[in-house]
Amino acid sequence: MELTQEQIQCVENFLSYKKLDYIDVRFEVLDHIISDIESLLEQGIPFEDAFKQSTGKWHNDLKFTSSFLIGILYNRPKIVINKAVNLGKYWLIFSFIAVFLQAFLIGGKSTIFSFLSDNSFFFLTIGVGLAIINGYFYFKMRKLKTTFLFLFEKFIIPSLLLLFIAFLLPEISSFYVFLIFCNSFLGYKLYKEHQKIMIKCN
């Protein structure tokens, strides 16, 4: 039994009340709750009771919490934090592998960017910095939130800080530039995933 638009709006209002604003997670939860309610309605359970039973299963997942990995100051629904943490773990593993390759296999004093002249390195760092900042403001103008945008915002400040250090201290830029480009790769992946969600919304 399919829900009416008014009944679906009740579920939407519940998710808004719980401040589940990240649309990638919101769509998943909305779909699960609607399917659960429809299943209960087919068993002859009134909508009000079915609504309470179905939404009650999500109270723990929708409680606000934080994570040391993401930042203890960022309180979000638990289901959002868990997804962000799972995505963030892949970034940490990737970064550790990249640092290991740079430090032990490529060599701490050498770099895959050693062929660049000082001028080329200057324009490269400026270009990467502008791309990161441009991506941030592009996302902010879109207004719609996703978990990928949430992570992208957390990735902005560390990336710009690394870029600033590499620019000021070119003698140790090998390590920092390598890590910057690893972060840039992460930013690109987050951007692509965010775009996929935006396309679905449109």
Q: Which residue has the tokens 């009000």?
A: 48
pLDDT tens-digit readout, 58-92:
999 999 999 887 778 889 999 999 998 888 777 77
Closest CA to 182 of 107, 86, 114, 113: 113
Q: What is the pTM of this model?
A: 0.73
Task: Give the C-alpha separation, 51 to 173, whole Å.
Answer: 57
Closest CA to 170 of 121, 106, 129, 112: 121
Residues comprising the chain, all counted = 202
pLDDT tens-digit readout, 91-100:
777 666 766 6
Task: Give the C-alpha separation, 180 to 68, whole Å.
Answer: 22
Per-residue pLDDT of the chain (202 residues; tens, 9 = 90+): 789 999 999 999 999 999 999 999 999 999 999 999 999 999 999 999 999 999 999 999 999 999 887 778 889 999 999 998 888 777 777 666 766 665 565 554 445 455 455 556 667 667 766 777 777 777 667 667 888 888 877 776 666 666 666 666 655 555 666 666 677 777 777 778 877 887 777 6
Q: Which residue has the tokens 């299943």?
A: 39
pLDDT value of position 151: 82
